[in-house]
Structure 1
Amino acid sequence: MKKNEKGITLVELLAALVLVSLIAGVAWTAMSIGFKHSVVETSKTQIQQDANLIIAKLASAHRKSDSYSLGFENGQLVLKTCFDDEGCGSFERVLDKTYNYEETAINGSVYTGAPFTEVIILPKEQNTAINLKLISGKTTISIDTVLTRIITGMYKRGLENEAS
């Protein structure tokens, strides 16, 4: 190149284009992986929130009702609450979304997808162990919990005192 010539050569231009292409390719790959990971994590978070909502609804029924029944209809978790002075309602789905509940255990009774006998729970007399499994596609969320209510002799003693 002569001293007074200005500009870049074709080789310099090609080298710059190759470097820019490599950097853009790496950035595009990183962004693509990030987007895919974000979609998976968002799905997991949504299922986790739904599982927490189910547990909250079951805990509310455990604390407020005199008895309740849990079962599965058409593969979906259903709940029927009963009050001594009002009687029992009908079974209602706990969640409007559809999940696979196979391997969910309620007081030792495991749902396998086959017909499931409802589990009647008397919260004034027993705590309820639940292993809730929600499956959506390849994502599985499992929550182990025990629904509790203060169980003392107070309730039975109160009834005995009223009877005397």
Structure 2
Amino acid sequence: MTFWTFGPEPFDTADATALRRAYYAEVAGRYWKRPATAEEVDGGLRGDGVEQLAPPTGAFVVGRRAGTAAACGGVLLLDAERAELTRVFVRPAHRRTGGAPLLLAALEDAARALGARRMVLNTRLDLTEARALYAGCGYREIPAYCTGPYMEVWYGKELAPAG
């Protein structure tokens, strides 16, 4: 059995950057129905607000499977009670190995550590695998809490106290 480990990591380490690039390439490519170019990935990551995914406003988590950086996600505090889940990604070669629910649990722990009592997120309807993951981990559809391009469905979950 191959084990997963998860921990906070600066968003700009080599592993975190590679995971963020892979995440953006996948979600953009699926939206455009063609592979994203390196220039498009660069453009998408430029000014994306990732610097907020560090204390005290957020956290970035990297998951490793057998020592390989294989997953990532971020948490951004929206207010004193809510944190937003963002950039949730598992590399394709590591999917269906049990890592995705563990990643969500690690991100929920990070949100609790920042003081959040509720997690929210937005996603697109075409990201069916992500939507199934969220529903399977206790997230339920909620009314829109924000607007913008690529936001088609919103989810929320009350975070049980740690321990």
Larger of the two Rg values belongs to structure: 1
TM over 0.5: no
- Bigger proportion of residues as helix: 1
The TM-score range, normalised by the shorter chain, is under 0.3
**Taking structure 1 as the reference length, what is the TM-score of the superposition?**
0.25
